[in-house]
Structure 1
């Protein structure tokens, strides 16, 4: 079953530098169908849906350590194997010396029109990933960006704003 966030919902979480959850708000717990005790200290990948291309997470983990924020559409999996789409913004939290201390993510309801573009793209990426690996899946994404003449961020943000 596919769950939907409400328009006014914001899912908030923090992870340590290894991606383990250190904070999650009530909406996160409700959407993910987990308790706080089940989430704290666990890898954020506990909610990774198998229909989500690994290449998107590769981009994320290559970008946020460079202190650059990431916007992404993510299909998450709940404890009870339900799914829910989010429009995620992930950033690094910095201390006074500019060192990354943790990662902070805010997710909101994705624009349904954006999912009309993202779902077929992710299905194509996932198919290529299964047959040829993450690098080939990533190339599907970069080829589309090049064809459209936009950066990853420009594509993702424009889809949410349409």
Structure 2
């Protein structure tokens, strides 16, 4: 399926609703809740069986997805701020957190469930220039260069990636409770 051309129109997400999708270990969509279908603009039939990258916005640096996949493939959680692309070319910003499901017998990952909700405006405003810089670096020096830049960025700030994102999105209180509840609901 061909990616749509991005347009400069942001879909405003309902802060009280959440997007849930589930993929197999290789990122192929197996399930999407009604809000995912509604916001993405794709029908369920168009989403199921497609790689999750169907909603990847070109403004997202590749290194962010590499980091996410490196972590979730080790059954480690990661939270990220992601700009997604809808079928009509419009976009929406989400905070996404993953829950890998591990087979108790083989110890292999059998699926990933992603929980998303609207990203706070100040978090988006803080991350956009960082993502723009990473894309610029990737275009000139590839993903290795952007990974080195990102490592240096966090070292200079004296924080880990997780601490940086948690501080940006205010991952505490009600926000943290939301993701905890979602995971219990879908586990």
| Normalised-by-shorter TM-score class | over 0.9
> Match for 2:18 among 10, 19, 26?
10
| Structure 1: gaps (5+ residues) | none
Quote the residue 1:42 is aligned against.
50
Larger deviation, residues 119-128 vs 92-101: 92-101
Larger deviation, residues 72-81 vs 138-147: 138-147
Select the structure that is richer in strand.
1
SS at match of 1:153: helix
Instruction: State the Cα RMSD in Å.
Output: 1.1
Quote the residue 2:164 is aligned against.
155
Larger deviation, residues 93-102 vs 71-80: 93-102
Q: Give the superposition deviation at 1:99.
A: 2.7
> Match for 1:89 among 66, 88, 97?
97
> Match for 1:113 among 119, 122, 126?
122
SS at match of 1:68: coil
Provide TM-score, normalisation by structure 2: 0.84
> Match for 1:80 among 60, 63, 88?
88
Aligned residue pairs total 162
Alignment pair present for 1:63 and 2:71: yes
SS at match of 1:139: helix
Question: Equivalents in 1 of 2:34, 2:146: separation in Å?
Answer: 34
Q: Which runs of structure 1 show a deviation greater than 6 angstroms over 4 or more consecutive aligned residues?
A: none
Alignment pair present for 1:29 and 2:28: no
| Structure 2: gaps (5+ residues) | 1-8, 172-187
Provide TM-score, normalisation by structure 1: 0.96
Question: Equivalents in 1 of 2:56, 2:125: separation in Å?
Answer: 20
Question: Equivalents in 2 of 1:88, 1:54: separation in Å?
Answer: 16
Question: Equivalents in 2 of 1:26, 1:140: separation in Å?
Answer: 38
SS at match of 1:2: coil
